[in-house]
Each structure stands twice: as structure tokens, then as C-alpha cells.
Amino acid sequence: MDIRHATPRPVRSVLTAVLESLRLGDPVEAGLMDRWAEAAGPEFAPLCAPERLEGGRLTVTFDHPAMHDHLNLRREALLERINTFLGGRAVTEIRMKPRRFDGR
């Protein structure tokens, strides 16, 4: 590519393209995944784990079938706790999913 004829691009678009190519993901999601015990707190962290955060929907996984009912009843408390940790309304919905028996 001849740099003398290149069209200037905003730095933001260049950085966005670089981050997407590196597949580093969303920094909010990364922070939530890395600090789940702190974000979810002692009531929830041992019971479930974050899988992904996309478009405001947080998917959490759990091991025991009875946890689904417990987490479902406490969903709003978990949502509030996570958003307080994140300092905003990054999570608008929590989806619960049982872990597969092979550990995934």
C-alpha cells in the first residue's frame, strides 16, 4: 500500500479494528469474568459462573439443577449486585444455563 495515497482514518476506528482483530473482547465482560467472586459476592459466586455478556444479556452457568430455582428467585438481587459492581446498567438480563456434565 502506498501510504502517500492512503485516506486518513479516525484513530478510534483504527483502534476499534485492531481490538476486534485481536479478539480481546469487551472490557466490561473481561472485568466481570476476571472478578466474578467480587462482582457476584459470597451469596452467588459459589453457585454460578459467568459464561458471556452480550448486548446486556449475561449468561451464567450452574452445576446443580436445584440452583436454577434458587438463582431464578434471586435473579433481581444478582442483577443489582452486578450492576452496582460495574457502576451502571451494563447488564439488563440474566440467562441461566446448566453446565454440561463434561465440565463445559
Q: What is the pLDDT of residues 26-84, one digit of tens each?
A: 778 888 999 999 999 999 999 999 999 999 999 999 998 889 999 999 999 999 999 99
Q: What single-letter amino acid sits at 59?
A: T
Q: What is the CATH number of the domain that holds 94?
A: 3.30.300.180
Task: Say how many domains are in the chain.
Answer: 1
| Contact of 70 with 47, CB cutoff 8 Å | yes
pLDDT at position 11 is 74
Give a yes or no: residue 19 inside a domain.
no
3-state DSSP assignment of residue 52: strand
| Strand 48-54 with 57-62, pairing | antiparallel
Q: What is the pTM assigned to this prediction?
A: 0.70
Q: What's phi and psi for 82, nearest 5 deg?
A: -65, -45
Domain that holds residue 40: 25-98
Residue 79 burial by Cβ neighbours in a 10 Å radius (0-12, 13-18, 19+): middle
Give a yes or no: residue 6 inside a domain.
no
Give a yes or no: residue 58 inside a domain.
yes
